[in-house]
Copies of this chain bind each other. A is one copy, B any other.
Amino acid sequence: MIAVDWGTSSFRAYRVAADGAVLERRSAPLGIMQIEGGRFAQALDSQVQDWLAAGEAPVVMCGMIGSRQGWKEAPYVACPAAPEDIAQHLVEVTWGARRRAWLAPGLSSRDEGGVPDVMRGEETQLLGVLDELPPAAWICLPGTHSKWVEIRGGKIARFRTHMTGEVFAVMKAHSILGRMMPDAALDAHWFGAGVQRARAAGGMLHHLFGVRARGLFGELPEAGASSYLSGILIGHELLSIPDSAQAGVYLLGSPELERLYRRALEQLGRPSVSLDPDAAVRGLIRLARGLPRE
């Protein structure tokens, strides 16, 4: 089969053997935002023409390629959702001479206040790790829009998204805080100070201003400012998760973000278990296995 994880800013394809072994990987900066005029079929052909010509099938894709801005919309499936519910809502696209592919749907959830929430791409990563988890668990997928997902009875019961990564990026690039923030490696001390700060009185909007004031007073080195801001935001995210997630959590994300979140969780006295970040391809394989044989 061909597994494709196709997001807003990147394209990743995997050629997978019948036994699930990944034979070959390709990636390109061909996110859906980089594709003009809806030429998704051409973009896919340009990346995996040889695999397709060799008759590799099926082609299963996840991520923003299945959004309204992508190739074709695969509508959100409402939580609680079992793996079968996701598999049953794959959406087919066809092109060229009898070429076809399947797009994974996103998931939606509603919180206690009835406010909707959405994910697209993460549902497939979750499918890739579900078998390793106990029947009841919380998984955190850190990122631009960090997700906290509750698994219950083997289903994706509900989830919450936090804008942590995007608020960090936007504040660093466009607010007064960014003026004092050179790009710098993680400063563990100041990251920890930020996480600690999130527990103080005053709320996040006050803690954000403290980044500037500490800088003005020479009490925060420029090289630590970005880590301090990151710690404040991640700290606030972690302090707002449901009580049932406090006992322990599984982390599924890029090594860099996984490291930050693990560190912050440790500091707050919460155990975490890290999952293989390459979960999307395993989720796509799982979806492929549920498809009818051709």
Contact = CB atoms under 8 A, between A and B. Distances in A.
A46 interface: no
Given A115-B213, A197-B115, A210-B117, A205 B175 contact: no
12 contacts: A112-B201, A113-B201, A116-B216, A117-B213, A163-B175, A163-B206, A163-B209, A166-B175, A166-B176, A201-B240, A203-B237, A204-B236
A136 B210 CA distance: 25
Contacts of A163: 175, 205-206, 208-209
A82 interface: no
A113 B197 contact: yes
A167 interface: yes
Contacts of A208: 163, 167
A202 interface: yes
A116 B209 contact: no
Interface in A206-231: 206, 208-210, 213-214, 216-217, 219
Interface of A: 108, 111-113, 115-118, 145-146, 160-164, 166-167, 170-171, 173-176, 197, 200-206, 208-210, 213-214, 216-217, 219, 233, 236-237, 239-240, 242
Nearest to A201: B112
The quantity of this chain's copies bound in the complex is 2
Nearest to A217: B116
A173 to B, nearest CB: 7
A162 B115 contact: no
Nearest to A205: B162
A203 B115 contact: no
Contacts of A167: 167, 171, 175, 205, 208
A167 B206 CA distance: 11
Best-surrounded residue of A173, A200, A204, A216 (most CB of chain B within 10 A): A204
Contacts of A197: 113, 115
Nearest to A237: B205
A115 B108 CA distance: 40
A200 B111 contact: yes
Residue of A113, A209, A214 most packed against chain B (CB within 10 A):
A209
A70 B209 CA distance: 21
A147 to B, nearest CB: 10
B118 A216 contact: yes
Given A170-B170, A173-B174, A162 B242 contact: no
Q: Most chain-B CB neighbours within 10 Å: which of A117, A203, A208, A237?
A: A203
Given A116-B214, A116-B217, A166-B176, A204 B204 contact: yes
Contacts of A201: 111-113, 240, 242
